[in-house]
Structure 1
Amino acid sequence: MINILDKMSSRKIELVKILSSETRYFSVKELSEQLNISNKTLVRTVELLKEDMQSWTSNVEILDKNILGYCLCQLDGFSIKEIEVYYYKDSIIYQVIDELFHNKFVDIKTFANERYLSYTVVYTNIVEIRELISDFSLELELNKKIHIKGTEMQIRYFYFSFYWNILGGVEWPFRFYDKQNAFEYIEIIETFYSRELSVSETEFFLYWIGTIFNRVHLMKKSVDCSQFHLYKGAYNELEKMLRPKLLSKNFAADSVDEEVLFIYLILFGFQPRRTYGEQDQTQIRTELNKNIESIVASYWMREFYGNFSVNLTISEQITLYTNLVIQHFRLMVFRGGGDFFENQNLFIPECDPSMELLLKNAVKTIASELFQIDQIKNLNLDRKLIESYYKQELYDLLTSDYRMGSIKVAIISQFGEKINQHLKNIVISKTNVKIEFCSFTDADVDLIISNRSYSEIIQKKNSQAELIIWNDTPTELDKKKVTEVLKKISNQRQYSVFLEALNTTVEEAIN
């Protein structure tokens, strides 16, 4: 994600993250080494952070013990995100962009004088904004009245991306549109998706609605979606629900069609990725298979089968194709945002370096072949961002429960089944990989956990199985060991599955 903070604010946030990572005291030396600053600077940073905390309602404070160091006292409701929002909103870049969005920015001199800042400091930050929005195919014109120049679609996309990634639903930034009024559109979105939205999804789309209505209210700007008119006819039900509502909100009659289409582009482009192995009730469009995002997805599937010797189930093929269509659609409609969305909705657990290298190079191989095709090359897609999506897609596909199988774990305890169930719950909580419990004598057991080093275990366990001896009541160190071993087994399994899936020629090229 982008960083619009000054050095001190960034350091304070990092300090809070370190202190909140464990419930113990951290020495000055330990903290200064982790933050790569002097002891004197560390002490000063803590003092400034304490001063900031006095103005917060957040349930957190720093405990100071001269000998032991510093400890963060966290009460119920503590959230690092709220602290991040505090510092983001205090930054010059945030305040300039917020005033531009709300049409309150007069000029640099006025902005600087109101905040007792120098003209040069404000101007330097505004230059950084120019670089930031260029990724969205936008320009910042530094004339007498500063304004963002570009298409209304991209301007809205930038403001939405900015607020969502900075605030993330913690606060409502849209001063001229009441959040409660936005909820009437959530029901329409849920009808469109044929399911109930999660809390985070609801907030996500509320921010989009707030962005649209604020722009229409303040700037009297209608969006132009003429280049996407080929999608008309794909959202008749959505149009029936949205059109009367927008007309009742004083949207110009000649702009409603474009606004409905814009909302459709948002709903289709930002729908969640499908998960491999889950039944999906939402049907992808079949009438638009000749559109460019479908063509690119087909090319991708062709390259995949050319590089991987793996047979996909029908369900996997549908999920993969659907995800590819959605991802390419979004990248073609909404340009830029890589610095904002690089890590959004993407989750790849820390892999073994060998697996990471295989994954990275396999993605580059597929992407390089795709971007040689004129139809794809001419789209000018964000190569870095699209490769991150490809990486996630390959990882999810080839490491799904269906392909990975389960890790077989045997737990030995003399305290009975009730205690055993508690121990099983501990093991399950230490990994996101599917766990199957079995007997320690099973030929394919992966991990044996016991509270005693019984000779029978040593004699009968297979040579491949890992062995952990933990305490009758597992300690934090015991649990950490379980986590490490499960991760090791999972990484080995992932590498094996991935290597087996690669074609020999591709494997040789990667090596």
Structure 2
Amino acid sequence: MHNFLDRSTLHKVQVLHLIYNENRFFSSFELAQVTELSERTILKILSEISLDLQIITESAYIKEEKPKYFKLDYQDHFSIKTVERHYLQNSLTYKACDEIFHNTFDDITTFSLENFTSLASMYRRINKIKPLLNQFHLKYKSLQTVTLEGTEKQFRYFYYLFYWNSCWGEVWPFSLVTREAILEVMEEVNIELPHSAIYWLAICLTRVKLGFPIGQDPVYSTFTKHHYHYGDFSEVVKRIFKKLTTLSDEEIELEIMFSFTFTCCLRHYDKKDKAISLMMNFAQHHNQDLFVQATLYWIETFMDYFSITLNVEEYGGLFVNLFHLHYFIMIFSGPSFLFKEDPYQKRFEMHETTQIEIMNQFYDRLMENEDFSIVFKRRDTLIGRYHKLLKQTIDIINREAIKIKIVSMINDIPHIFEQIKRVFIHVELCSEGEDAELIITDSLYLNLKKEAGELFVWNTMPKKSDYERVGKRLQEIYLNKSQETNNLLIKALICQI
């Protein structure tokens, strides 16, 4: 977001997030220390945010309890994205990019005059976003009309992220095509598409209406040829383009194939999804393509590095999601998010140092094969997604769960067990005659001394602090157990984040 907002607005967003994330009163002095701004500046920022909120939303306001103590009061339906969107869409950089997309940006001098800013200020703003555009292989060009120079594919990808990551589906930013017109055609064939896919189609339709259809590329026809879902997708998108554009059938087919290659890569497949088998058949038709070969190499390296054998469901879930991810990385250049940090990368970086190191060492192993360097080149984008996919797919619970026994005076064992699973999920109750690795009890009963397993004593009516203590103890046992067996995968995936 810092590429698009001026310094004062960035400060407002920073302060807003601070008071939004913690539901308490902040002193202006504390906010000044955290943000490294003066207290006078903080008071000015809070005053401006308060006025902004009156314009933007009725579901939040700045509350002052006593002099220089402030809190953000908001209702359950308040969305901070709405406020961020307001700031973004009122920034000059955003307005300039929006005009470039709609092909209405004539020249920078006229734009500067219309928006009451200087040429020097606009050039500074443009220079600020040039490094971002470079990531998409786009260049700012100012000839007769200001535009972005690059492939149509990359132009559309950039603007999909530009609009989706700023509007988040809350508003419709497109002027040449209406959302209702697209939905009307979808209703005719009784097919639904994700809201993000509708944004994507609106971008493609707008570009077509402006005279910029997608170019021919054999990659798209190859990818769509054996895909089970292409027929349904083609039916609805063909109707949309026929009704809303004047393209020929051949040009519409190119648009359909291109849009399908983008939107299908965004879908996540659950390992129990019935479509997994269909996608495995699809992969057979592409077994010589780089994205499939790279995925086969990834799984082979993964099983060797972590000393693990995957069951059928795990293998299918990993394989299908990975080859879509690898295909996407191969055909689109640029980050996966604009205006915000990549949440997959951010979540991964919140894990323990050991987990991050293990995944990085595994990634280093992948990089040893230079044949697939084009697929694995974007570590920052991929490593967080790899980690999340492993946590979603690998059944660690049943592989290495800790066996526990619960002894309770009030005999409410099912309820207690469910509460324990909330603080540490990798546990199972012992069956009859089975030894427990941890016995959780509310008293040191005489008969427990004869049983195998460690003892953990807590209150008859366990409190929150008791559950937190048992969670920490279970994690210690789990880590020690994984160290004994040198199970790197457990060490990498144990965290609940």
| TM-score between both structures, scaled by the size of structure 1 | 0.80
Would the alpha carbon gap of residues 316 and 495 (structure 1) be closer, same or farther in structure 2, given more than 3 Å must change? farther
Amino acid in structure 1 at the alignment position of 2:217: S
Q: Which residue of 2 is the match for residue 172 of structure 1? A: 172
Q: 1:408, CA displacement in angstroms?
A: 5.2
Give me the identity figure in percent.
21
2:204 to 204, 207, 212: 212
Q: Which residue of 1 is the match for residue 256 of structure 2? A: 260
2:170, 2:441 → 1: CA distance? 42
1:156, 1:270 → 2: CA distance? 15
1:227 to 212, 218, 238: 218
Would the alpha carbon gap of residues 83 and 437 (structure 1) be closer, same or farther in structure 2, given more than 3 Å must change? farther
Q: 1:155, CA displacement in angstroms?
A: 0.8
Q: Which residue of 2 is the match for residue 106 of structure 1? A: 106
Instruction: Give the secondary-structure state (helix, strand or coil) at the position aligned to 1:83.
Output: helix
Kindly report which structure 2 residues correspond to 1:70-81, keeping only aligned pairs within 5 A, or say none.
70-81=70-81
Amino acid in structure 2 at the alignment position of 1:312: L
Q: 1:393, CA displacement in angstroms?
A: 3.7
Q: 1:338, CA displacement in angstroms?
A: 4.5
2:27, 2:408 → 1: CA distance? 40
Amino acid in structure 2 at the alignment position of 1:224: G
Contact 2:107 2:144 in 1 (8 A): yes
Q: 1:255, CA displacement in angstroms?
A: 0.8
1:330 and 2:328 equivalent? yes
Q: Which residue of 2 is the match for residue 444 of structure 1? A: 436
Would the alpha carbon gap of residues 423 and 301 (structure 1) be closer, same or farther in structure 2, given more than 3 Å must change? closer
1:24, 1:449 → 2: CA distance? 38
1:281 to 269, 275, 278: 275
Q: 1:379, CA displacement in angstroms?
A: 6.2
Q: Which residue of 1 is the match for residue 47 of structure 2? A: 47
Instruction: Give the secondary-structure state (helix, strand or coil) at the position aligned to 1:54.
Output: helix
Unaligned runs of 5+ in 1: 504-511
Unaligned runs of 5+ in 2: 490-497
1:496, 1:435 → 2: CA distance? 13
Q: 1:326, CA displacement in angstroms?
A: 0.6
Q: 1:428, CA displacement in angstroms?
A: 5.6
Q: Which residue of 2 is the match for residue 369 of structure 1? A: 368
2:357, 2:180 → 1: CA distance? 48
Contact 1:27 1:69 in 2 (8 A): yes
Would the alpha carbon gap of residues 5 and 396 (structure 1) be closer, same or farther in structure 2, given more than 3 Å must change? same
Identify which range, 181-190 or 107-116, moves more after superposition: 181-190
Instruction: Give the secondary-structure state (helix, strand or coil) at the position aligned to 1:166.
Output: helix
1:68, 1:467 → 2: CA distance? 47
Kindly report which structure 2 residues correspond to 1:96-245, keeping only aligned pairs within 5 A, or say none.
96-184=96-184, 202-217=194-209, 219-228=210-219, 229-234=221-226, 235-245=230-240
Q: 1:313, CA displacement in angstroms?
A: 1.0
1:35, 1:11 → 2: CA distance? 8
Identify which range, 97-106 or 420-429, moves more after superposition: 420-429
Q: 1:124, CA displacement in angstroms?
A: 0.9
Identify which range, 35-44 or 258-267, moves more after superposition: 35-44
2:386 to 367, 390, 395: 390
Instruction: Give the secondary-structure state (helix, strand or coil) at the position aligned to 1:147.
Output: strand
1:80, 1:210 → 2: CA distance? 25
2:153, 2:23 → 1: CA distance? 46
1:381, 1:44 → 2: CA distance? 45
Instruction: Give the secondary-structure state (helix, strand or coil) at the position aligned to 2:486.
Output: helix
Would the alpha carbon gap of residues 155 and 162 (structure 1) be closer, same or farther in structure 2, given more than 3 Å must change? same
Q: 1:259, CA displacement in angstroms?
A: 0.7
1:305, 1:448 → 2: CA distance? 35
Amino acid in structure 2 at the alignment position of 1:227: P
Would the alpha carbon gap of residues 350 and 255 (structure 1) be closer, same or farther in structure 2, given more than 3 Å must change? same
Contact 2:62 2:72 in 1 (8 A): yes
1:143-169, CA deviations, whole angstroms, 9 ceiling, x for partnerless residues? 342101111111111100111112211
Kindly report which structure 2 residues correspond to 1:16-55, keeping only aligned pairs within 5 A, or say none.
16-55=16-55
Contact 2:112 2:118 in 1 (8 A): yes
1:350-408, CA deviations, whole angstroms, 9 ceiling, x for partnerless residues? 42222222222222232x213x22xx235694343234433434454557434453785
2:438, 2:348 → 1: CA distance? 23
Would the alpha carbon gap of residues 487 and 168 (structure 1) be closer, same or farther in structure 2, given more than 3 Å must change? farther
2:488, 2:100 → 1: CA distance? 50
Q: 1:223, CA displacement in angstroms?
A: 0.4
1:458, 1:125 → 2: CA distance? 75
1:155-210, CA deviations, whole angstroms, 9 ceiling, x for partnerless residues? 1111001111122112211122111222256679996xxxx76xxxx221121111
2:141, 2:83 → 1: CA distance? 32
Q: Which residue of 2 is the match for residue 508 of structure 1? A: none
Q: 1:265, CA displacement in angstroms?
A: 0.6
Identify which range, 252-261 or 484-493, moves more after superposition: 484-493
Instruction: Give the secondary-structure state (helix, strand or coil) at the position aligned to 2:73.
Output: strand
Kindly report which structure 2 residues correspond to 1:401-440, keeping only aligned pairs within 5 A, or say none.
401-403=397-399, 405=401, 410=406, 412=408, 414=410, 417=412, 433=425
1:491, 1:97 → 2: CA distance? 52
Would the alpha carbon gap of residues 411 and 19 (structure 1) be closer, same or farther in structure 2, given more than 3 Å must change? farther
1:53, 1:320 → 2: CA distance? 44
Q: Which residue of 1 is the match for residue 494 of structure 2? A: none
**RMSD of Structure 2 on Structure 1 (CA):** 3.8
Amino acid in structure 2 at the alignment position of 1:343: D
Q: Which residue of 2 is the match for residue 7 of structure 1? A: 7
Contact 2:159 2:203 in 1 (8 A): yes
Q: 1:97, CA displacement in angstroms?
A: 0.8
2:335, 2:33 → 1: CA distance? 33
Contact 1:403 1:497 in 2 (8 A): no
Would the alpha carbon gap of residues 288 and 236 (structure 1) be closer, same or farther in structure 2, given more than 3 Å must change? farther
1:190, 1:5 → 2: CA distance? 41
1:175, 1:467 → 2: CA distance? 66
Q: Which residue of 1 is the match for residue 495 of structure 2? A: none
1:359, 1:380 → 2: CA distance? 14
Contact 1:355 1:495 in 2 (8 A): no
| TM-score between both structures, scaled by the size of structure 2 | 0.82
Q: Which residue of 2 is the match for residue 507 of structure 1? A: none
